[in-house]
Amino acid sequence: MGNDNTVYVGLDVHKESITIAYAVDLGEVELLGKIGTSPTEIDRLCKRLQSKARHVRVVYEAGPCGYGLYRRLMGHGFECMVCAPSLIPRKPGERVKTDRRDAMKLVRSLRAGDLSAVYVPTVEDEAFRDLARAWVSAKTDLKQARQRLKSFLLTHGIHYIGRADWGAAHRRWLSKYSFDNEWRQLAFDEHRRTIEDRLAQCDRLEAAMREAVIRWRFYPAVLALQTMRGIQFTSAVGMLAELGDLSRFQHPRQLMAWLGVTPSEHSSGETRRLGSITKTGNSYARKLLVEAAWSYRHPARVSPAIQLRHEGIPKPIIDRAWDAQLRLCRRFRKLAARGKNVNVAVVAVSRELAGFIWDVARIAMAMAIPHGGQPT
C-alpha cells in the first residue's frame, strides 16, 4: 500500500459471475480469476485489489445488471468507469470472444484511454427514471391492446362508421356492441377489459409522476421545458429522466450528438460527405424530441394551453421559448420551400430544438424556479 502504482482492472460482468483481469502500471495484463456477484465476494475482491497498489481504476461494460456494482466500487474509494459497449475498440479480424479475453481487452483499453464512459445517474434520478419508464411501458401496452382489439374486429368484418380514434363516441360504440356467439363475445370482453386495465394503470402512474416530480431536483427544468411548443408534462419528464443532468454537456452540440440527431460523415481528403443522422444515444429521448419538432410545421403562436403553462415561469425562460418558436417555425418553412422531404425537415428542426432545450433547462436550473408551480 505504500507504493504509488496504479492497478487497472477490467471486469466482465454477468448475472451470476464476474471475470477479473488486471495490470499494474505498464506491466503485463493478467487474469485474476472469476467470482460471484454477492456483496461479500465483491468486498473480498476490493481488499485484494487494494493490496496491489494505492490507486485502483476499474472498468466494466454497461449492461442489464445496472449500476449497483459501480456504486459499491466507488464506495471503496476506487475510480470506476462504466463504458459504452458499442464504442469499445475491436480488431476487424477478431473471431474469438470469451469472458477472459473481454476482461483483458477492457484493461488494455482503459490503460490506453480508448473507452467512452456512460452517464451514471444518482440513485434518486434512477428511481424517478424507473417510474417514468413504467409509464412508457404502460402506454406501449395500451397501444398494443388497442391494436389487438381493432384486429379482432377487422377479422370478423366489423367496421366503425366514423373516426376510430378512441374518443368518447368510439368508446360508447364499443361498450354497446355485442356478438351473437357466446365464446366470441367472451374474447371481445377480455380485449376491452385489457384496455380498461391499461388505461387505469397509465392514470395511476401519471398521477404518481405528477406527485413525485415536485420533489425531484430537475423539477424547475420540467416546468421550463413545458413553456416550449410540442413539449407537455409527460414529454418533459420523459426527456429529462432519460437525459439526466444536462450540465454535463458543455455545449448544445454535445447534446445533439448524444441524442443521435447529428448527420453521419464520411470524408476523405477534400471530399466531405454527410449522410443520415447517427441515431446514437437514447432512442426514446430522440423519439420525444422528433415528436415535439413536428409541431413547428405550423405558424408560431402561443396557444391557450401553452399560455397556461407559462404561469409562474420567469420571463427570460418564456422569451427563450418564444425565440425557439420563431426560429424553428421559420427554419421548417425555409426547408420546405427548398423542396426538402418533410421528414428530413423535421429532423433538422429537432436538432436545433435540442439546442434550445439545453439552453432553457440551463436557465431554469440557474434561476431555480420556485416549487410553487404545478405541472400541467
Residues of the chain with pLDDT under 70: 1-3, 369-376
Number of domains in the chain: 3
pTM of the model: 0.90
Out of 88, 112, 136, pick the residue that ends a domain: 112
CATH for 73: 3.30.420.10
Same domain, 52 and 147: no
Judging by DSSP bridges, how do beta strands 271-277 and 263-268 pair with one another?
A: antiparallel
Q: For residue range 21-42, what is the model confidence (pLDDT) as tens digits?
A: 999 998 999 999 999 999 999 9
**Is 374 among the domain residues?**
no
Do 67 and 174 sit in the same domain of this protein?
no
Give pLDDT, residue 369. 59
The residue range of the domain holding 247 is 219-367
**DSSP class per residue in 331-345:** HHHHHHHTT--HHHH
73 in any annotated domain = yes
207 shares a domain with 244: no
Residues 63/13, Cβ–Cβ less than 8 Å: yes
User: 372 lies in a domain?
Assistant: no
Whether residue 322 sits in one domain with residue 243: yes
pLDDT at 166: 92
Q: Kindly state whether residues 185 and 81 are assigned to the same domain.
A: no
DSSP label at residue 131: H
Return the pLDDT at 339: 95
State whether 11 and 134 are in the same domain.
Answer: no
158 within some domain: yes
User: Is 139 part of any domain?
Assistant: yes
199 and 136, same structural domain? yes
How confident is the model over 233-277, as pLDDT tens digits?
Answer: 999 999 999 999 999 999 999 999 999 999 998 888 888 888 899
Torsion on CA atoms 294, 300, 304, 306, rounded to nearest 10: 60
55 contact partners, CB below 8 Å, separation of at least 6: 4, 5, 6, 7, 79
